[in-house]
């Protein structure tokens, strides 16, 4: 089969890596791809928002399946656009991708169907939002309604910080139109957990759970990022709690979307908090998480292409999906300055020296001479497998230290919570 993956990050590298293992994949393309994806797929210079060009490429190259990686094109309707051209696509249509594209929509859906989540109110008027905020207590969470490259959620530790965040989002428009509405919600405490699931309507096939680390510095300090590292499994979270989250949150949400006339097909990512009152929903994403994908897919034993095709063709309910018992730990290597401004084009050395881990490229570019340079905030994800979290973690850090670029920084405590 001939497959086209859309995207350019670590998530797409992991997807391409997994698809390349399938004996059914003859040709694998990625638009636009990156320096690492070029090792496993043919990169095509078409951006994720160039829907017509993507469709034309897929038609010209007799593509059998298009797989959509990132959130923006999904929210903007790339699946609808490509399906209208007669193409087969893995990913939710725009009316289902709204579960990530609008936090207000999602909170109202959860409230309507009594699915556990943090208490909240939503606002489109700044003065009303400010008046409500001043009646609350810190810490408190302020969320821009729309997509904001993973940075539209501010966990304010003081009321002064909360008011500044609200002003930045709704008045200064630091996230543009995404800040036309906001959600102000209670701060939940507990363990975070990510459950990604393959979904086709009401059929839910959960993947192995993972845990991300959002703040940029050790001990969860500093501003939020797109994710500084992940690990799976979660030995410190009981299986019964994971099952409760699937039964009380993930499956009811899939059913709710069908009931709303917005059947979800693709990967539904549930960001959850394990609170003293049980699992609660923090957010949903309409696609594979990044960097969660970089630890989850290396544990997948079933052919990923078979799963994609089953979901697209309404056969997901007949699939038995197998996972390895190994642990996986991913450490993100970031550019100096990230998540603020950072330089690009810095040479990356030591990649050939990594022997005992997978290196997923997130923000890299390949020069004509074959050298690889930095091209983003999160540059590389180093993923190691092991019989235990401790073994995988030790391997990941040992291999990460072999890679060098100016300003490289990373958290040193990824997966530490699982060792307690």
**pLDDT per residue over 298-343, tens digit each?**
999 999 999 999 999 999 999 999 999 999 999 999 999 999 999 9
Dig out the tokens for 61 from the structure.
């190259």
Categorize the per-residue pLDDT at 9 as very low, low, confident or very high, splitting at 50, 70 and 90: very high
- Checking if the pLDDT of 420 tops 90, the result is no
Q: What integer pLDDT is reported at residue 149 of this predicted model?
A: 73
Categorize the per-residue pLDDT at 14 as very low, low, confident or very high, splitting at 50, 70 and 90: very high
Question: Which CATH architecture does the domain made up of 327-419 adopt?
Answer: Alpha-Beta Complex (3.90)
Q: What integer pLDDT is reported at residue 192 of this predicted model?
A: 86
Dig out the tokens for 212 from the structure.
């991300």
Dig out the tokens for 376 from the structure.
């983003």
Question: Do residues 232 and 208 make contact, with C-beta atoms less than 8 angstroms apart?
Answer: yes
- Checking if the pLDDT of 134 tops 80, the result is yes
- Checking if the pLDDT of 151 tops 80, the result is no
Q: Which of 191, 175, 213 is nearest to 334 (CA)?
A: 213
CB atoms within 10 A of CB 212: 23
Average pLDDT over residues 406-418: 97
Task: Look at residue 221 and give its three-state secondary structure.
Answer: strand
Looking at 3.40.50.10890, 3.40.605.10, 3.40.718.10, 3.40.50.20, the CATH number of the domain 2-91 comes to: 3.40.50.20
Domain coordinates of the chain in residue numbers?
Answer: 2-91, 119-186, 191-318, 327-419
Mean pLDDT, the chain, integer:
96
- For residues 346 and 408, what is the distance between their CA atoms, to the nearest angstrom? 10
Average pLDDT over residues 186-195: 92
Residues in a beta bridge with 268: 197
Categorize the per-residue pLDDT at 129 as very low, low, confident or very high, splitting at 50, 70 and 90: very high
Q: What integer pLDDT is reported at residue 383 of this predicted model?
A: 98
**pLDDT per residue over 71-94, tens digit each?**
999 999 999 999 999 999 999 999
- For residues 256 and 241, what is the distance between their CA atoms, to the nearest angstrom? 22
Looking at 3.30.1490.20, 3.40.50.720, 3.40.1210.10, 3.30.470.20, the CATH number of the domain 191-318 comes to: 3.30.470.20
Q: How many angstroms from the chain centroid is the CA of residue 401?
A: 25
Q: What integer pLDDT is reported at residue 269 of this predicted model?
A: 97
- pTM attached to this predicted model: 0.94
Percent of the chain residues topping a pLDDT of 90 = 95
Q: What integer pLDDT is reported at residue 148 of this predicted model?
A: 84
Looking at 3.30.420.10, 3.30.1490.20, 2.60.260.20, 2.30.29.30, the CATH number of the domain 119-186 comes to: 3.30.1490.20
Q: How many angstroms from the chain centroid is the CA of residue 194?
A: 9
Task: Tell me the CA distances in angstroms from 396 to 86, 87, 258, 333, one per residue in order.
Answer: 43, 39, 41, 11
Task: Tell me the CA distances in angstroms from 284 to 98, 138, 185, one per residue in order.
Answer: 10, 24, 15
Average pLDDT over residues 376-383: 97
Task: Look at residue 247 and give its three-state secondary structure.
Answer: helix
């Amino acid at each position: 089969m001939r497959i086209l993956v859309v995207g350019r990050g670590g998530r797409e590298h992991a997807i391409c890596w997994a698809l390349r293992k399938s004996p059914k994949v003859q040709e694998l393309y990625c638009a636009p791809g990156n320096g690492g994806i070029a090792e496993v797929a043919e990169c095509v210079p078409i951006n994720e928002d160039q829907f017509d060009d993507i469709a034309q490429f897929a038609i010209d190259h007799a593509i059998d399946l298009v797989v959509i990686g990132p959130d923006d094109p999904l929210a903007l309707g790339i699946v609808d656009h490509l399906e209208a051209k007669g193409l087969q696509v893995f990913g939710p249509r725009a009316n289902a991708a709204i579960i990530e594209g609008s936090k207000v929509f999602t909170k109202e859906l959860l409230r309507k169907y009594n699915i556990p989540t943090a208490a909240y109110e939503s606002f489109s008027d700044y003065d009303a939002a400010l008046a409500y905020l001043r009646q609350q207590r810190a810490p408190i969470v302020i969320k821009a309604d729309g997509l904001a490259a993973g940075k539209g959620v501010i966990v304010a530790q003081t009321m002064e910080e909360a008011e500044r965040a609200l002003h930045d989002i709704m008045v200064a428009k630091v996230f543009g139109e995404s800040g036309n509405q906001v959600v102000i919600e209670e701060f939940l405490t507990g363990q975070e957990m990510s459950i990604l699931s393959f979904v086709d309507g009401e059929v839910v096939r959960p993947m192995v759970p993972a845990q991300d680390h959002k703040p940029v510095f050790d001990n969860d300090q500093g501003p939020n990022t797109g994710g500084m590292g992940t690990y799976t499994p979660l030995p410190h979270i009981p299986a019964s709690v994971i099952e409760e989250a699937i039964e009380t949150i993930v499956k009811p949400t899939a059913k709710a979307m069908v009931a709303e006339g917005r059947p979800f097909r693709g990967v539904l990512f549930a960001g959850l908090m394990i609170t003293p009152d049980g699992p609660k929903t923090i957010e949903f994403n309409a696609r594979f998480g990044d960097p969660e994908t970089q630890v989850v897919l290396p544990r997948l034993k079933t052919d990923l292409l078979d799963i994609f095709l089953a979901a697209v063709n309404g056969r997901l309910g007949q699939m038995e999906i197998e996972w390895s018992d190994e642990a996986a730990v991913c450490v993100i290597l970031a550019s100096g300055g990230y998540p603020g401004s950072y330089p690009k084009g810095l040479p990356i050395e030591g990649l050939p020296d990594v022997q005992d881990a997978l290196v997923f490229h997130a923000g890299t570019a390949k020069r004509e001479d074959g050298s690889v340079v930095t091209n983003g905030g999160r540059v590389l994800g180093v993923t190691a497998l092991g019989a235990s979290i401790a073994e995988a973690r030790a391997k990941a850090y040992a291999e990460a230290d072999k890679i060098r670029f100016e300003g490289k920084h990373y958290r040193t405590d990824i997966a530490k919570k699982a060792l307690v």
